[in-house]
Amino acid sequence: MQQLEQEVRQFIIDNFVFENGNGSFSNEDSFLETGLVDSMSIMTLVEFVKEKYAISIEDEELVPDHWDSVSRIASFVQSRRGLVEASQQNVADGA
Amino acid sequence: MLDIDCAKVTAVLEESIREIVFHRLRKKGAVVGLSGGIDSSVTAAICGRALGKDRVFGIMMPENDSSGDSLNLARLLADVLGIKTTVEDIGPTLEVLGCYQRRDDAIRKVIPEYGHGWKSKIVLPNLVESSQYAIYSVVAQSPSGEMKKVRLTAEAYLEVVAATNFKQRIRKTLEYHHAERLWYAVAGTPNRQEYAQGFFVKNGDGSADFKPIAHLYKTQVYQLGGYLGVPEEILRRPPTTDTYSLEQSQEEFYFALPLDQMDLCLYGKNNGVAPDEVATAVGLSTEKVQRVFAMIDSKLHSTRYLHLPPQLIEPVSEVDVTH
């Protein structure tokens, strides 16, 4: 989980924090409240997460509950990965 | 709340337009791009009353994706107002610029089979019913009628918008061409929802010498339309972007609410009315109105740059940009 948070955080710093910002935001800070990541940036963030962690993301999952902070994103990815691994295990057991 | 005294408002508009066009801008008349919609119709009508119908020039600018209604309704309006007009088909120009090709290439990034004979539009999710982010999807219809809806990537979205924005920018180029040869001013046609919420293209329909109805709520524009004698067919026509090959409402593209509800929310927010009071007036829950208020703030913030003039490093004091 810590590694997940670090990877997401670094992507945000590299792509959305201008002026060589050192990322003076916490993993719990709300993007909406701080204005750090807007809806345009969310689109880029979603694609990063999809490709890096090989998970699918439904339209209904594009909500602040899952995406409004570094820690929320990490939790979301963690839970989706858990679902993917569980379903792969079910398939393997079935075989 | 939004009812206006049309006679009084019209009188103020007429006097202001004369002041702006004749005295402040020192121009002889006004050019108006006519889309067949309510905003350009009211703008042309009020300019005709203010300046004289012989000093208003209307330009109709259809392209490959335009609804046939647009041209017919614009012609009807021009006949009613008695203003001179011209038709400039911008389809060939857009083709040369690659507008359609670029847009289709962008859509193919998410729908690889998209091609000749397909139609499309981009839409938002229902932002009032859910807390989803304003992330666009493309809705495409194949030649056989099959519908597909796919979420756009950031890259594809930006490329689709950048391609379709050619339309508004080429139209504005033509408006300024005619304005310059006639020594007229270019009238912009946004209403308050559009102007305040950034529903315009920078250097496209966002560009103008004056914008006479930018302070009026959409429902007020309709009231004026009725008062000024805009044809019923235009008054009844649902607002459309008339930009994509599939019919697209302004609601699904940008505003997320029917225009009368959005007007009330915008009015309420602008005048410090509490969300629960607005909710009663609009017929939505307080939670949904709060969501709409947040959307309004978000759009004000994200589209602020559209209103900014060119940013200078140091002021050039001898240039007065106020009046």
What's the CA gap between A26 and A17, in Å, rounded? 13
Task: Spell out the domains of chain B, with CATH numbers in brackets.
Answer: 6-94+161-307 (3.40.50.620), 97-160 (no CATH)
DSSP of B144-191? T--EEEEEPPHHHHHHHHHHHHHHHHHHHHHHHHHHHHHT-EEEP---
Q: Which of A44, A60, A65 sits opposite B154 (nearest CB)?
A: A44
CA atoms within 13 A on the CB side of B81: 35
The answer to whether residues B147 and B162 touch, using CB atoms and an 8 Å cutoff, is no
Residue of B nearest to A45 (CA): B154
Q: What 8-state DSSP symbol labels residue A59?
A: G
User: What domain range is A59 assigned to?
Assistant: 2-94
- Among A38, A60, A64, select the one facing B302 at the smallest CB separation: A38
Inspect the interface and report whether the beta carbons of B301 and A35 lie closer than 8 Å: yes
Residues of B in contact with A67 (CB under 8 A): 133
CA distance A34 to chain B (A): 12
Among A39, A64, A65, the residue with its CB nearest the CB of B135 is: A39
pTM of the predicted protein model: 0.90
Structural domain tally of chain A?
1
Nearest to B206 by CA among B10, B30, B33: B33
ipTM: 0.82
Contacts of B321 (CB under 8 A, 6+ apart): B309
Which residues, in sequence order, are CB contacts of B21 under 8 Å at separation 6+? B27, B29, B30, B50, B51, B185, B210
Instruction: Return per-residue pLDDT of chain B as tens, 323 residues.
Output: 799 999 999 999 999 999 999 999 999 999 999 999 999 999 999 999 999 999 999 999 999 999 888 999 999 999 999 999 999 999 999 999 999 999 999 999 999 999 999 999 998 888 777 788 888 999 999 999 999 999 999 999 999 999 999 999 999 999 999 999 999 999 999 999 999 989 999 999 999 999 999 999 999 999 999 999 999 999 998 776 677 888 776 666 666 678 888 899 999 999 999 999 999 999 889 988 988 898 888 888 888 999 999 999 999 999 987 66
Residue A46 belongs to domain with CATH number: 1.10.1200.10
